Amino acid sequence: MKKFKFAIEMGGSSTCIYVKGEGLALKEATLIAAEPTDDGYKVIALGNDAKKLVGKTKENVEIFTPCASGEHSHFEYSVVLLKHFLGKVGFRAHEDNALFVVPCGLTAREKENILNVCDAVGLASVVLIPSVLCSCVGEGRNIDSSKVNMIVDIGGTATEIGVINMSSIIKGATVGIGGKSIDASIVNFLAYTQDFVIGLPTAEMLKNEVGSLYTNETLNMEITGVDAKTKTPKSVVILSSDLRKAIEPFYSEIVRAIDTTINTLAPEIVADIINNKILLLGGCAKLQGLENYLKQHLGYPVEMSQDVDNVTILGAGKLLSDQQLLESIIKKL
């Protein structure tokens, strides 16, 4: 079996690269800033440099992720961005191999797109590894057991749901709900209810600082935006209780997706899930009150990952050094 040097997680929100023997070597925003030219588009910033430009550029500059939900629909930009990131971690073109972390449930075409991107950047050999398997490994759970684990990863552009045993996924689903859709909902909510215009970076800050699913939350935050009617700057105090109206519907939809998945499983599998608890991870799993909200609305025990932001890439990194477990997983892909 080939030796793999890199584990790559190119998510809708951030890209992580783990280097064998070194650890997590890179974590940057999966963003490109580009402006139109006579010949197409010119890339003006990548990664964290592009994130700094959000809301601060000319109207014709587009800032986007080329691989929302892991689909890599913008092939040429995915290549540019991945090549840029690999150039920061000692990559040797046409020599180094990689594990590439992907969402479960990708179509054959979507998988081919990812492999084509990897080939274009010069990776010698690539194996696509489902993210939920990596998350289980990263959390220290035994995925090579007959005991079933359930993972819910609420990421930047999508939510991954995976049911795992014996190093394989027995049920998987991807829901198109993540942090970016929640940020956009906050922007729209404030514009509609208060005639108050803010940008996505401010909405993300609000979500992270005062976003909560507790019904009696008293957090609040003063932010500056633009009055939609007068077009002048103004400051407004945003209450957590108001913000909940923009946030809660997304988590309600995630609850429905989890419940629907569990309802398709055999009773013996459900019993294992109850015993092991549903593992929560991803950037949007940090929202205050989420664990309590799921316990109230889902009816199944849940457990927060010890490292909701990095557990997936750290698990992929562990696989770089665990040849036996990696072989067991690859045989069942």
| Fold equal for 6-136+311-331 and 143-177+247-304 | yes
- Report yes or no: 72 and 113 within 8 Å, Cβ to Cβ: yes
CATH of domain 6-136+311-331: 3.30.420.40
Domain boundaries, the chain: 6-136+311-331, 143-177+247-304, 179-242
Q: Which CATH architecture has domain 143-177+247-304?
A: 2-Layer Sandwich (3.30)
CA angle in degrees (0–180, nearest 5) for 133-314-202: 100
Q: How confident is the model at residue 70 (pLDDT cuts 50, 70, 90)?
A: low
Q: How many CA atoms lie within 13 A of 109 on its CB side?
A: 2
pLDDT of the residue at 4: 96
Question: pTM to 2 decimals?
Answer: 0.93
Across-strand partners of 175?
159
Q: Which CATH architecture has domain 179-242?
A: Alpha-Beta Complex (3.90)
Rounded average pLDDT over 243-255: 96
pLDDT of the residue at 69: 67
pLDDT of the residue at 295: 87
- Report yes or no: 85 and 47 within 8 Å, Cβ to Cβ: yes
Rounded average pLDDT over 290-319: 95
Q: Sheet harboring 168-175: ordered strands across?
A: 168-175, 159-165, 149-154, 278-281, 302-304
CB neighbourhood size of 288 (10 A)? 17
CA dist., res. 32 & res. 64, Å (int): 6
CA dist., res. 317 & res. 22, Å (int): 10
